[in-house]
Every structure is written in structure tokens, then in C-alpha cells.
Amino acid sequence: MRRDALVVGINQNPFLFDTPTSKSKHLKTPACDAEAIARLLEENGDFRVKRLPEKAIDDEKFQVDPKKKVIADELLDEITKLFLTEDGRDTALLFFAGHGVIKPLGQLEQILMATSDVNPQSKKWNGLLLRDLWEIVEQSHVKEQIIWLDSCHSG
């Protein structure tokens, strides 16, 4: 049985502010939480885990990097690789910890899994809309799909 996971922990959000004069809304725990989940999945769940952002500890070990940024294209690419595969994997698990942002669309509100390059003040809505994540999962041939979101507005 093949089980793969993408574990994302984004601490760095340099363009998110409460007010134009406040400090950036960097987070302190997503990378740590994501790394804890990654270890549990590897040690107790028999998962092959991809971390984002990752840093190498040695030639064979990686960990979630709390200081690195994740851009929208990178997140979308890794999620697509996880779910839209024909390699026969039985389980695909996505864990995302970071900011969830509301993107206005007229009278609608769209929910966005924010990446480090999101900048609402400049109308740069970078990340992945939950609607788009749903479309990816619907098209997936992976038998068991698990999505675990640890962010504001994740429902």
C-alpha cells in the first residue's frame, strides 16, 4: 500500500498586516506543527512525506523550515503532484498550517490558503483557493484523500 503526504507549514508572510503601519503577520507555530505531523506520519503511519518549505538536515533527512517562504506556484505544483498522479498510490494526505485569507469577489468571499507571496493591499491574492483545491481532489484517482487544514477560515 502506497501512502504519500504533503505537509506544509508556512510561517513567513511579509505582506500581511493588520494595519499599514503594523508589523508583518508572521506566524510562529505552523512549521513546528507541520514537522510534528510529518514525523508522526512517517513513524506511525507508514507515509512517504514531502515537506514544504523544507531544509535538509543531512543527505537523507529533511524538516519543515520555519524561515523559508513558499510561493503560490510551488504550493500548487506540490498539491498537483500529490493528488493528480497515476502511480497507483492508495492514500494522499495534505496537511496545511498557515494563514487562511478571505478574498473578496463582489458579494462573495473566497477562502485562500495563503502563501508567503500573498499581498491583499496590492490585490495579489497568491495562494490556493479552497475551490481550486476541491477541483484538484475531485479529479484525483487516489482512492483515499485526506485534507487537514490548520488555518483561519478553513471551515
Give residue 19's pLDDT. Answer: 66
pLDDT of 133 strictly over 80: yes
* pLDDT tens-digit series, residues 46-58: 999 999 999 988 7
Rounded (10°) angle between helices 72-83 and 130-139: 30
Give residue 50's pLDDT. Answer: 97
CA 83/CA 91 separation, integer angstroms: 9
* pLDDT tens-digit series, residues 61-105: 899 999 999 999 999 999 999 999 988 899 999 999 999 999 998
> Residue 101's beta-bridge partner residues?
112
pLDDT of 132 strictly over 80: yes
pLDDT of 138 strictly over 90: yes
CA neighbor of 133 nearest in space, from 79, 52, 74, 72: 79
pLDDT of 113 strictly over 90: yes
| Residue whose entry in the numeric block shows the C-alpha cell 524538516 | 63
Residue 83 in contact with residue 136, Cβ under 8 Å?
yes
Q: Report the share of the chain in percent with pLDDT over 90.
A: 74
Please indicate whether residue 16 or residue 97 has the higher confidence score (pLDDT). 97
> Residue 2's beta-bridge partner residues?
none
